[in-house]
Amino acid sequence: MKKYDIIIFDLDGTLVNTIADLGEAVNHALSQHGFPLHEAAEYPAMVGAGVRNLVKNALPASQRDNASTVESVLADFTAFYSSHIDVHTRPYPGMTGLLERLQADGSMLAVASNKFQSGTETLVREFFPERKFIAVCGNRPGMPLKPDAALVSSILSEAGEGVSAVMVGDSATDILTAHNGGIPAIAVNWGYRPESDLKDADALARSPEELEELLRG
């Protein structure tokens, strides 16, 4: 039995674990320019605000405000990542089945991500090919990044008036995005942020089973 008409999911860190491919792509781009590389464990703290900010965070502090350097490294990252986007990336255990059951119960599904639009669409299409999402929204020209509420507003307009909605994500950015859009936020703790960052969520799920209970009521 559905509790929400529409469930909006973050992508990276919520539906799929992308961190290894993101880290390898950034390290590749950094190596092309002779910059120091990062350990895989450093990357979870850098992601969540779009790939441009990921690249800036990975650069030496002295280069982060150098627009030419950022653009050049970003171009190398995007070229490598686009062709290696699914080498290590996989859905988190339990999420594929959860989406299937939620849709079978009549809930509409959507994705709201700060990943660039083509990358967002690629991963959703590859890993959840049998699910019908009413919207798959990533970063694209004219659309502000989360935590701006624009993505939520766009998705809700697709869903229609008077729908009950919730957002599921793994970061404070997702929680703030939901609240900025006037809907509750459920945080999951298997993503890239510690639980201490998720204190403002309306609820916290520590497993896909707990998430399902929260979403289905």
The confidence score (pLDDT) of residue 48 equals 73
Residue 180 corresponds to which amino acid? N
| 174 part of the active site | no
76-109 per-position pLDDT tens digit: 999 999 999 999 999 999 999 999 999 999 999 9
Per-residue buried b or exposed e for 178-217, using 16+ beta carbons within 10 Å of the residue's own CB: bbbbebbbbbbbbbbbeeebbeebebbbeebeebeebbee
On the question of a common fold for 6-18+90-216 and 19-83, the answer reads: no
Domains of the chain, by residue range, sit at 6-18+90-216, 19-83
Residues of the chain with pLDDT under 50: none
**CATH assignment, 6-18+90-216:** 3.40.50.1000
Annotated catalytic residue: which of 10, 12, 76, 174?
10
Q: What is the pLDDT of residue 94?
A: 97
At which residue do the structure tokens 């590859």 appear?
Answer: 126
Residue 1: the pLDDT is 62
Q: What is the pLDDT of residue 38?
A: 96
Report pLDDT digits (tens) over 203-217.
999 999 999 999 987
Predicted pLDDT at 160: 85
Confidence (pTM)? 0.93
Q: Give 19-83's CATH code, choosing from 3.50.30, 1.10.150, 1.10.10, 2.30.30.
A: 1.10.150
What is the pLDDT at residue 49? 82
pLDDT score recorded for residue 4? 95
